[in-house]
Amino acid sequence: MGSTVLLGNSPAATPRVKLWGARRGAVRDVRLFLILVAWALLLVLCWPLALAVLVLFPLVWLIALPFRLVAVVIQAGFALVRAVLFLPARILSLGRER
C-alpha cells in the first residue's frame, strides 16, 4: 500500500515506482533476523527454555488463530459500516473533478 509516483508527462505510458513497498519486506527480514539472534542467545544461556519456546510457539499460534480470524471479521464489518456511511458523500462528489 505504498504511495506511487508517476514519471514523465503521460501517466498511462509511464511505469509506476513504489516509494515504500519494498521496504516492508526489508523490515520483515530484519525482524526475523533479530528473533533468530534472540533465540540463539537464549539457546546458549538456557537451552531448556529455548527448546520449550521452539515447541510451544506453534501451539500458541494455533490457539491465537481463531482470535485473529475474529479480528479480521470485525475489521471487515467496520469497513462495511464505514462504506455505507460514506456512500452518500461519494455519490454526491461524482460530478466534481478531483
Evaluated on CA atoms 54, 58, 63, 64, the torsion sign reads positive
The rounded distance, in Å, linking the Cα atoms of 42 and 7 is 49
CB 4 within 8 A of CB 19: yes
Average pLDDT of the residues in 51-59: 94
* 88 or 21: which leads in pLDDT: 88
Amino acid 1: pLDDT: 47
